[in-house]
Amino acid sequence: MLEGLNSAAAGMAAQQQRLDATANDLANANTNGYKRMRVGFRDLVYTQAGRPAADGVRIGAGSAAIDAGRGFSQGTARETGEPLDVAIQGDGFLRVRTPDGGVGLTRDGALQVDGNRRVTTASGALLQPPLTIPESVSLEDVKIDADGTVRAGEQRLGRIEVVNVRAPQGLQSIGDNLFAPTATSGQPTGAPAATKLVQGSLEGSNVNVSDAMVGMIEAQRSFELASRAIKTADQMMEIANGVKR
Amino acid sequence: MDRGLYLAASGMLAEQVRQDQIANDLANASTPGYKADRTAQSAFGELMLSNRVTGQQVGSQSTAVQVDEIETDFSPQPARETGEPLDFAIVGEGFFAVQTDGGTRYTRNGQFTANAEGLLVTAQGDPVLGPGGQTIRVGAGGQVDPRRLGVVTLNNPRKDGDSLVAGTPGGGTRGQVRAGALETSGADAARSMVDMIASLRAFEAGQRVIQTIDESLGKAANTVGTLNG
């Protein structure tokens, strides 16, 4: 009786998931290289209903949220003037070694040097392939070309490699602004030639705050609507109980 | 007299089905490409009533009501800009074709993604098909030209769950595919709420009819024939 109760509850759970994703997006509206979440919805199975169950009478079981990965559109670049800040223009990621030794990909180009003058991300993950700025070279003299070549005057220090995966939507977010490649995303390979590095600027978050706010309002109202269906189903059961006084 | 009891009860059962359908619509108020349903009910088993003394006919009476069909309104809904390169909307009639384990299915929910082989797939991982039934490769920069997606019009489309629709391809004018947009849900919150209230009250009325008949039966059983009634 009253499958609608469950359908509406499924709809509320789906909206809750979207709200969680939107909250995460808003919290990261100022995170360098953050990519917004893509949450989708689908309807659920349709089964015959009514008494007697007729072929044309099929009722759905509500909705579910689906994780469609991330939206990888370019975030707006911001000038910082810092010599080790790089913004990636186009597709691709910087490759780093995660603290547990795995492969991490990031678009957060706020690089720095650690105590051993090795180049790391802001969270301390080492750049791969490793790049060391010698003690003799001042960071202000470091020049990073569009193709990633790192120079100090005439001296070539190394190269920042930009890699890409075949299906970025399949990347797994592992925190600290890092993504890990998965079987769905494919392994990292060289980035397309069109991808450029821009020294002295950082890529901002691609979250559009006004879109996120509108999405949040929509999620809240849809949640409310589904809750009304639950309330009505409850009232109907109360009425059914009142048949026998 | 007791026929009315069953008649009222069948009406209440029909309203329950309608409530379930409305709850599903409301749960899918944000599902891209969702199509709203409408519950149609009809009377069945009409009886001709006649005067027992004269034999004159006094009209017909229904023995029950039933939900005989849930119709889906497949008319196109407006598209909403999302800016995501792999979101697609069909402006006009038609469906995207999708290769599923159970054969070719169709959908208007164009929230697609790319898989490890570089193919355009639905969020469920089923490949999206081009006009000739071929799979579609996602191009450089994660983009797909919207003209490479096939649009199919269907005869007798029927919802199959997971945003998919089953049906047989038919003729007619096909819509245009637009990238970076999604079709909004066809569930109309205002209409669903009004239907829900109307259905609730009809359900309540059914309950009152049963109570009233019960009262009359109670009178017949207990009051008629008693001396001090």
Interface pTM, i.e. ipTM: 0.82
Q: Note whether A228 and A182 are same-domain residues.
A: no
Task: Give me the number of domains chain A comprises.
Answer: 2
pLDDT value of position B154: 92
Q: Do residues A149 and A58 share a domain?
A: no
**Can you give B107-124 as a three-state secondary structure string?**
ECCEEEEECCCCEEEECC
Choose, out of B7, B10, B16, the residue to mutate when testing the contact with A (most A CBs < 10 Å).
Answer: B16
Residue B77 Cα to chain centre, angstroms? 15
Rounded percentage of chain A residues whose pLDDT exceeds 90: 56
At residue A245, the pLDDT reads 75
Q: Which two tokens stand for residue B180?
A: 């970076």
Predicted pLDDT at B17: 92
pLDDT score at B1: 56
> Do both A120 and A58 map to the same domain?
no
pLDDT of residue A56: 80
Chain B CB contacts of A228 below 8 Å: 26, 193, 196
Q: List b or e across A33-62, with b for residues whose CB sees 16 or more CB atoms inside 10 angstroms.
A: bbbbbbbbbbbbebeebbeeebeebbbbbb
Q: Is A193 on the interface with B (CB under 8 A)?
A: no
CA distance A59 to A206: 39
Token pair 């994660």 is found at B142
For residue B108, the chain A residue with the least C-alpha distance is A42
Regions of chain B where pLDDT drops below 70: 1, 228-229
Domain that holds residue A16: 4-72+207-241
- Domain co-membership, A192 together with A167: yes
**Within chain A, which residues score under 50 in pLDDT?**
none
Residues A182, A97 share a domain: yes
Residues 188-227, chain B, touching A (beta carbon < 8 A): 189, 192-193, 196-197, 200, 203-204, 207, 210-211, 214
Q: Are residues A11 and A98 in the same domain?
A: no
Whether residue A221 sits in one domain with residue A184: no
The A residues from 53 to 82 touching B (CB cutoff 8 Å) are 54, 56-63, 66-69, 71-73
What pTM was computed for the model?
0.85
Same domain? For A111 and A223 the reply is: no
**Would the CB atoms of B142 and A168 count as touching at under 8 Å?**
yes
Whether residue A40 is found in the same domain as residue A102: no
Q: What is the pLDDT of residues B91-135, one digit of tens each?
A: 999 999 999 999 999 999 999 998 888 899 998 889 999 998 899
Helix (H, G, I), strand (E, B) or coil at B199: helix
The pLDDT of residue B225 is 76
pLDDT for A1: 55
User: Domain check: are A176 and A233 in the same one?
Assistant: no
Report CA B99 to chain centroid distance, whole Å. 24
Task: Identify whether residues A151 and A96 lie together within a single domain.
Answer: yes
CA distance B211 to chain A (A): 6
Tokens 């990519």, residue located: A35
